[in-house]
């Protein structure tokens, strides 16, 4: 694939966790060697449902940068920047919001789903309803063509491309580029009870600074096969959270296949599979936890890194915003 401009982002509303590692972070670590990658810490998007609690967002910015670095994102290869410090993104959002109807926003399936789960009822923040427009501003301001995201973000990519086509039609130029989603090959990591995906709202998560004991407790509480009532009985792999995690993180593929066969045949107990997973996750998290602790000892250095990435991004996004205004013909001086 030709070298592309990549933009991804995360809302700064909490520490990152194993779900992010399996779903997006490991993919970004690989992509940074092949493409031109920028990661946006989406603090403004984080505020769309935390407007009355800005402290929650502000305090998590530093957590998210530390999580990126200890997951293997290299700031020499990937630009990391802060959304709220890029005024062009807010400006473009205002332009684009005139081209999108409220009913179109209400039809966005991810927004609809979130409105329900967040329990806004009749008081949906206007900023929340319009966040797909702000995400279109993010993507187009960086002229990004490849967007590695989870499936839930596909409606945002679709809306972005609708806006791109409208702007290009109005200005009679190809000033904005359409983008494509890149859905990683790792499926969503389930929550510990297997009922939803791993997320803060689904209950306990394993973070990059979780202790060995927390990991042990999390694995022990994982949903397996309720009909697998004794070791010698056959057990089911589908829906078995322990195997989903082994699939995502266990390095020895051949051994994993053997374990699966034995489990399905009967003769392998949940105690053993849980022990194997616990050891695997401890081995994964321990070096990350140590690196994270080291990084958090020098927060000024982390902030400086973010500042540098943001300054580079400001040049890029300001230029794009000016180009849009120029082509709208409203920039008189």
What are the residues binding ligand TRP (CB under 6 A)?
7-11, 40, 42, 45, 135, 138-139, 147, 149, 153
- Do 82 and 43 touch, CB atoms closer than 8 A? yes
Please state the closest distance from residue 150 (CB atom) to ligand TRP, in A: 7
Please state the closest distance from residue 307 (CB atom) to ligand TRP, in A: 19
- Pick 8 or 224: Cβ nearer ligand TRP: 8
* Helix 154-171 and helix 299-328, axial crossing angle in degrees, nearest 10: 40
Who's near 61: CB < 8 A, 6+ residues apart? 12, 41, 43, 82, 306
Please state the closest distance from residue 208 (CB atom) to ligand TRP, in A: 17
Please give the DSSP secondary-structure letter assigned to residue 21.
I
- Pick 84 or 224: Cβ nearer ligand TRP: 84
Coil, helix or strand for 81? Answer: strand
Please state the closest distance from residue 142 (CB atom) to ligand TRP, in A: 8
- Pick 73 or 215: Cβ nearer ligand TRP: 73
Please state the closest distance from residue 206 (CB atom) to ligand TRP, in A: 19
Please give the DSSP secondary-structure letter assigned to residue 98.
T
| Side-chain-facing half-sphere of 57: CA atoms under 13 Å | 19
- Pick 139 or 163: Cβ nearer ligand TRP: 139
- Pick 61 or 268: Cβ nearer ligand TRP: 61
- Pick 8 or 159: Cβ nearer ligand TRP: 8
* Residue with nearest beta carbon to ligand TRP: 9
Please state the closest distance from residue 325 (CB atom) to ligand TRP, in A: 21
Please state the closest distance from residue 75 (CB atom) to ligand TRP, in A: 18
Please state the closest distance from residue 264 (CB atom) to ligand TRP, in A: 35
Please state the closest distance from residue 106 (CB atom) to ligand TRP, in A: 17
| Rounded CA separation 166/171 (Å) | 9
- Pick 138 or 209: Cβ nearer ligand TRP: 138
- Pick 39 or 280: Cβ nearer ligand TRP: 39
């Amino acid at each position: 694939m030709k070298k592309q401009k990549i933009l991804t982002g995360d809302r700064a509303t909490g520490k990152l966790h194993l779900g992010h590692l399996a779903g997006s972070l490991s993919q970004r670590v690989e992509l940074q060697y092949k493409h031109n990658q920028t990661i946006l810490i989406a603090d403004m998007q984080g505020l769309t449902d935390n407007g009355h609690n800005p402290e929650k967002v502000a305090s998590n910015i530093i957590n998210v940068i530390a999580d990126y670095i200890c997951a293997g994102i290299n700031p020499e290869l990937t630009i990391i920047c802060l959304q709220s410090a890029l005024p062009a993104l807010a400006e473009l959002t205002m332009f684009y919001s005139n081209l999108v109807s409220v009913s179109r926003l209400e039809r966005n399936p991810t927004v609809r789903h979130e409105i329900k789960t967040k329990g806004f009822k009749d008081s949906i923040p206007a900023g929340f309803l319009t966040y797909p427009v702000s995400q279109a501003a993010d993507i187009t301001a960086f002229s990004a063509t490849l967007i590695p995201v989870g499936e839930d973000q596909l409606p945002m990519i679709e809306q972005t491309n609708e806006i791109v086509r409208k702007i290009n039609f109005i200005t009679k130029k190809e000033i904005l580029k359409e983008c494509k989603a890149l859905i990683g090959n790792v499926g969503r990591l389930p929550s510990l009870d297997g009922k939803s995906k791993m997320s803060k709202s689904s209950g306990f998560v394993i973070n990059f600074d979780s202790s060995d004991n927390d990991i042990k407790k999390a694995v022990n509480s994982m949903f397996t096969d309720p009909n697998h009532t004794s070791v010698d009985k056959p057990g089911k792999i589908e829906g078995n959270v322990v195997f989903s995690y082994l699939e995502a993180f266990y390095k020895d593929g051949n051994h994993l296949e053997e374990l699966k066969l034995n489990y399905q045949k009967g003769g392998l107990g949940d105690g053993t599979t849980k022990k194997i997973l616990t050891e695997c996750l401890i081995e994964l998290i321990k070096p990350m936890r140590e690196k994270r602790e080291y990084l958090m000892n020098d927060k000024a250095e982390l902030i400086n890194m973010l500042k540098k990435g943001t300054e580079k991004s400001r040049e890029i996004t300001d230029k794009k915003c000016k180009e849009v205004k120029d082509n709208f013909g409203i920039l008189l001086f």
